[in-house]
Amino acid sequence: MKFAVVVFPGSNCDHDAYHAVKHVLSQEAEFVWHKNTSLGAADAVILPGGFAHGDYLRTGAIARFSPIMQAVTAFAAAGGPVIGVCNGFQVLLEAGLLPGAMLRNRGLHFRCEYVHVRVEETDTAFTSSCRLGQVLRMPIAHGEGNYYAEPDVLERLERNRQIVFRYVNAAGEETDESNPNGSIHNIAGITNEARNVVGLMPHPERACELALGSADGRGLFESVINGLGDRSARTVPSSVAAAVGVLEQ
Amino acid sequence: MRTRVFVTLKPSVFDPQGTTVTDALHTLGYASVKDVRQGKYFELDIDAASSEEARRLASEAADKLLANPVIESYRVEVDGR
C-alpha cells in the first residue's frame, strides 16, 4: 500500500509519519510537496502535524489553499482514505473536509504529553482494526486543539456517529480532567459522513513502537492497510489521481 | 482605498485569551472591566472605484480567508464609514 505524506512549509511530523508507515509498517511511502497538484498513485493520504505556513492567520487557514489540497479534496470525495493528525486535522477543518473549528486550548497552555483516547467508532477507514471502546495511549503536542462546533453540528456528529475518539482517563472514563484542551464533548477526533476522512489531535504516528513509549497508534494505520482490499472494489485511487489531472487542465 | 476588517469570535464561542486578559486586568486593579474579547484587525489597501466596491471586496476576502465562519464574525469599515 502506498501512503502519500503531504509536506507543507512548516510541517514537522512528516518524517515521523513517513517512518511509521514505511519502516514500522513496511508500506510504501512518498513525500508530496504542497505545491504539487497530484497525489500520484497514492492509496491513502496523511496530512501530518506541524505548523503549516507558520499557523499564520489561523491554524490550517493558509494550508487549505495550497495547490495539493485540490487533489486531496478530490481524492477524499472519491472515497480515498485521508487522515489528518494534529495540524493536519486543523487543515481538514479549514478545508471543510471535516466540520467544526479549533480554538486555543482552555488554559492557553501548549500541551505536550501522553493522553488516553477511547475508540468510539470502528467503521471508519482508520479504526476498522481497532476494538470498540479500546483505550489508546498516544502523545499530543498542540496549543490549539480545543475542538468546537455549533450545537446543531455537534448534534449531527453525535447522531451520525462521527465522533471517532474521545479523551478519557486510563480506565476509559470520559472525565473533565482527562480533557487536555477543553474540547467540546471531549472530542479528540472525528470522521466525515462517508467515514473515509479522519482527523485527530493525538499523534498515532509517534505511537507505533514500544521503544517510543506506545504502540497503540499502529491500529489506525493497520486499519487502512487491512481495509485496502475492501475499498479497491469500489474506488480506484490511481484513476482519481488521473481525474484530478484532467480537472487541473 | 483604506479598508478595515475587524474579526471577532462569535458571542457563543468561549475566548480563553480574552478571559486571561480580563484576569490580568483585574490583577492590575481594573475591577470595572467586566469582560474582554480578543479579535483580529486587518487593514486592506484596495484599488477600488467606490467605497461600495471596496466594501464588497473586503467582505469577500473575509468570507473566504480572514474569518472562519464557524467561530468568527466580522465587520468592515471603509474610510471610517
Provide block-wise average pLDDT over 10 residues at a time, chain A (249 residues).
Answer: 97 98 97 96 97 93 95 97 98 97 93 98 97 98 96 97 98 97 97 98 98 96 86 47 45
Q: How many structural domains does chain A have?
A: 1
Q: Do A61 and B65 touch (CB under 8 A)?
A: yes
On chain B, the residues whose CB falls within 8 A of the CB of A150 are 12, 70
What residue of B is the nearest CA neighbor of A183?
A: B14
Give the closest residue to A105 by CA, choosing from B41, B20, B26. Answer: B20
Q: Which pLDDT score is estimated for A245? A: 46
Give the closest residue to A194 by CA, choosing from A78, A36, A85. Answer: A78
Q: Which pLDDT score is estimated for B79? A: 83
d(CA A158, CA B6): 33
Q: Which pLDDT score is estimated for A141? A: 97
Range(s) of the domain holding residue A164: 2-248
* Count of Cβ atoms closer than 10 Å to residue A54 Cβ: 12
DSSP codes joined into one string, B24-75: HHHHTT-TT------EEEEEEE---SSHHHHHHHHHHHIIIIIS-TTTEEEE
What residue of B is the nearest CA neighbor of A151?
A: B12
Q: Which pLDDT score is estimated for A230? A: 58
Give the CATH number, domain containing residue A89.
3.40.50.880
What residue of A is the nearest CA neighbor of B66?
A: A57
Q: Which pLDDT score is estimated for A107? A: 85
Q: Which pLDDT score is estimated for B81? A: 54
Closest Cβ–Cβ partner in B13, B20, B66 for A148: B13
Q: Which pLDDT score is estimated for A248? A: 43
Compute the average pLDDT of residues B53-81: 93
Give the closest residue to B72 by CA, choosing from B4, B3, B1, B12. Answer: B12
On chain B, the residues whose CB falls within 8 A of the CB of A94 are 68
Lookup result for grid cell 494550508: A63
Does the ipTM surpass 0.85?
A: no
Closest Cα in chain B, distance from residue A148 (Å)? 8
Q: Do B16 and A148 touch (CB under 8 A)?
A: no
Summarised one tens digit per residue, pLDDT across range B6-44 is 999 999 998 988 999 999 999 999 999 999 999 999 999
For domain B2-78, give its CATH number from 3.40.47.10, 3.40.630.20, 3.30.1280.10, 3.65.10.10.
3.30.1280.10
The DSSP output letter for A55 is G
Strands A101-103 and A146-148: antiparallel
On chain B, the residues whose CB falls within 8 A of the CB of A105 are 16
Grade residue B80 by pLDDT with cuts at 50, 70 and 90.
low
For residue B9, the surrounding DSSP H or E stretch is: strand B2-9
Q: What cell numbers appear for A142 in the block?
A: 498542540
Q: At what angle do helices A237-248 and A68-77 cross, to 10 degrees?
A: 130
d(CA B55, CA B68): 18
For chain A, strand residue ranges (E) read: 2-7, 28-33, 44-47, 82-85, 101-103, 111-119, 135-142, 146-148, 163-168, 187-191, 197-200
The DSSP output letter for A125 is T
The DSSP output letter for A117 is E
